[in-house]
């Protein structure tokens, strides 16, 4: 008897009245939300709009689910179309069975449709969402734990997985928790992609290709440990060959892309750079060149207004010398009012009024002095 092990849940589904709440489905849903959340943060950081990742995921997620199920059904067709099997079970996604290779392939088609509708380059979107996909896989793998499936060979390690179900040919016992190994590996892949993207400024799909390559390395050795039925080619499981081929393609893409299109995309979403820059500047407390230009234009307008007021006040004073005392008092009163307006309406426009009023008062007083000198 093992003293330390990972227990398996007795049931993979709970019922809320007549409504079944399946652990496998919950893990998939939570994973999708985490991927969209992280992808959105990375997309905005690269200059995109908030909500774009979620909008495109409306296309990518359904395509990905269909692709993942198709890959599973095609590669394990005997589970649904052999003698004694019910082909209707192929549609029962909640019972488990999503192939990541098909999910990524067809999910990419859905993402391409969403990106094309918004005029966004697919590689840039893929780079933003890549670590989120890895984390979604890490969470989704716990759905296999709820279903007591996809475990490895027997072991007596203290973290062995205790399988209690005997359904569908299972043999109760203690096995390698390959679902846990892959979950932890995917978390490591997500951290690797985030670090490499910050360190090397990966762009044009290279961050996504790094995720694919790193995942394939882990999937290869984890797949080798599994004991569930699978097709073999030259002694290796089908998914091992798939991981090898996809790994080589991903590495080739990284090398070729780095030579042909080095660096990162300057613009990832047309029309989002201006508004995103203004919002980012306001949030960071930095000076905005456009705001500075607008302030400078306002100041020039205020100066012209002040000069015009001064000329107007001087002309009226010269035409009406006899009423200079009243006009001087009115000009000073106007200046005082303008200064009071400056405190409530804004320093720039009200300051311009005050300057104009004072200039008008100064012109009147000057004319009064000259007129008094002439009379004397």
Digit-coded pLDDT (tens) for 277-323: 444 443 333 344 444 444 444 455 555 555 555 454 444 443 343 44
Digit-coded pLDDT (tens) for 349-366: 434 444 444 444 444 444
Measure the CA–CA gap between 254 and 314, rounded to whole angstroms: 75
Measure the CA–CA gap between 28 and 6, rounded to whole angstroms: 21
- Overall average pLDDT of the 140-159 stretch: 93
Verify that 324 and 258 share a domain, yes or no. Answer: no
Final residue belonging to a domain, choices 248, 282, 316: 282
Rg over CA atoms, the chain: 36
Q: Where does the pLDDT of residue 229 fall: very low under 50, low under 70, confident under 90, or very high at 90 and above? A: confident
Verify that 329 and 273 share a domain, yes or no. Answer: no
- Overall average pLDDT of the 172-178 stretch: 95
Measure the CA–CA gap between 130 and 183, rounded to whole angstroms: 15
Verify that 231 and 264 share a domain, yes or no. Answer: yes
Asked if residue 325 belongs to a domain, the reply is yes
Digit-coded pLDDT (tens) for 114-147: 999 999 999 999 999 999 999 999 999 999 999 9
Structure token pair of residue 183:
């979950």
| pLDDT at residue 95, as a whole number | 77
Beta carbons of 138 and 211 less than 8 angstroms apart: no
Verify that 244 and 323 share a domain, yes or no. Answer: no
Measure the CA–CA gap between 56 and 114, rounded to whole angstroms: 5
Digit-coded pLDDT (tens) for 40-58: 999 999 999 999 999 999 9
- Mean pLDDT for the chain overall: 80
| pLDDT at residue 338, as a whole number | 46
Range of the domain at 314: 296-375
Asked if residue 3 belongs to a domain, the reply is no
Spatial CA neighbour of 214 closest among 196, 241, 236: 196
Strand pairing partners for 6?
161
Q: Where does the pLDDT of residue 376 fall: very low under 50, low under 70, confident under 90, or very high at 90 and above? A: very low
Ranking 15-19, 164-168, 329-333 by mean pLDDT, the lowest is 329-333
The domain tally of the chain equals 2
Placement of tokens 């994973």 in the chain: 31
Residue ranges of E strands in the chain: 13-16, 19-22, 161-163, 173-175, 232-233, 236-237
Measure the CA–CA gap between 10 and 289, rounded to whole angstroms: 63
Measure the CA–CA gap between 255 and 112, rounded to whole angstroms: 23
Verify that 194 and 227 share a domain, yes or no. Answer: yes
Beta carbons of 134 and 215 less than 8 angstroms apart: yes
Asked if residue 351 belongs to a domain, the reply is yes
Verify that 312 and 203 share a domain, yes or no. Answer: no
CB neighbours of residue 95 within 10 Å: 14
| pLDDT at residue 281, as a whole number | 41
Structure token pair of residue 54:
């979620």
Q: Indicate the angle between helix axes 206-225 and 100-118, nearest 10 degrees.
A: 160
Verify that 230 and 327 share a domain, yes or no. Answer: no
Final residue belonging to a domain, choices 225, 249, 282: 282
| pLDDT at residue 334, as a whole number | 52
- Overall average pLDDT of the 159-175 stretch: 91
Measure the CA–CA gap between 317 and 363, rounded to whole angstroms: 8
Structure token pair of residue 104:
């990524």
Placement of tokens 């395509």 in the chain: 63
Strand pairing partners for 154?
175
Q: Please, what is the Cα angle at 92 between 87 and 93, to 5 degrees? A: 130
Verify that 275 and 304 share a domain, yes or no. Answer: no
Beta carbons of 372 and 360 less than 8 angstroms apart: no
> What are φ and ψ of residue 163, in 5° steps?
-90, 125
| pLDDT at residue 367, as a whole number | 46
Is this structure's pTM higher than 0.75? no
Verify that 101 and 169 share a domain, yes or no. Answer: yes
Final residue belonging to a domain, choices 282, 307, 327: 282
Digit-coded pLDDT (tens) for 65-97: 999 999 999 998 888 998 888 899 899 887 778
Fill in the DSSP letter of residue 152: B
Verify that 246 and 324 share a domain, yes or no. Answer: no
Could you tell me what percent of the chain has a pLDDT over 70?
A: 72
């Amino acid at each position: 008897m093992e003293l330390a092990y990972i227990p398996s849940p007795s049931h993979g589904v709970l019922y809320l009245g007549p409504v079944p709440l399946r652990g496998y489905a919950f893990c998939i849903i939570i994973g999708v939300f985490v991927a969209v959340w992280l992808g959105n943060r990375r997309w905005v950081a690269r200059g995109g709009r908030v909500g774009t990742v979620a909008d495109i995921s409306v296309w990518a997620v359904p395509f990905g689910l269909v692709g993942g199920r198709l890959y599973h059904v095609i590669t394990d067709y005997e589970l649904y179309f052999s003698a004694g099997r019910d082909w209707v079970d192929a549609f029962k996604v909640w019972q488990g069975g999503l192939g990541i290779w098909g999910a990524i392939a067809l999910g990419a088609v859905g993402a391409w449709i969403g990106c094309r509708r918004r005029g966004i380059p697919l590689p840039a979107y893929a780079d933003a969402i890549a670590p989120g996909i890895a984390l979604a896989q890490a969470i989704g793998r716990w759905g296999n734990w709820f279903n007591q499936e996809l475990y490895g060979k027997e072991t007596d390690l203290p973290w062995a997985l205790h399988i209690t179900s005997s359904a569908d040919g299972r043999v109760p016992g203690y096995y390698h928790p390959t679902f846990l190994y892959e979950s932890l590996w995917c978390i490591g892949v997500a951290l690797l992609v985030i670090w490499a993207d910050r360190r090397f400024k990966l762009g044009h799909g290279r961050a996504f290709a790094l995720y694919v390559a790193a995942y394939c390395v882990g999937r290869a050795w984890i797949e080798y440990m599994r004991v569930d039925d699978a097709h073999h080619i030259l002694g290796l499981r089908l998914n091992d060959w798939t991981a090898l081929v996809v790994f080589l393609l991903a590495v080739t893409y990284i090398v070729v892309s780095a030579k042909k299109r080095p660096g990162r995309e300057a613009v990832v979403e047309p029309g989002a750079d201006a508004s995103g820059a203004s919002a980012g500047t306001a949030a960071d407390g930095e000076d905005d060149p456009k705001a500075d230009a607008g302030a400078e234009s306002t100041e020039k307008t205020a100066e012209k207004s002040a000069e015009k007021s001064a000329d107007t006040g001087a002309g009226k004073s010269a035409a009406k010398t006899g009423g200079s005392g009243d006009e001087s008092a009115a000009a000073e009163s106007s200046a005082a009012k303008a200064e009071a307006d400056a405190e409530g309406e804004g320093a720039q426009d009200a300051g311009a009024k005050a300057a104009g009023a004072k200039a008008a008062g100064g012109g009147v007083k000057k004319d009064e002095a000259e007129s008094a000198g002439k009379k004397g």
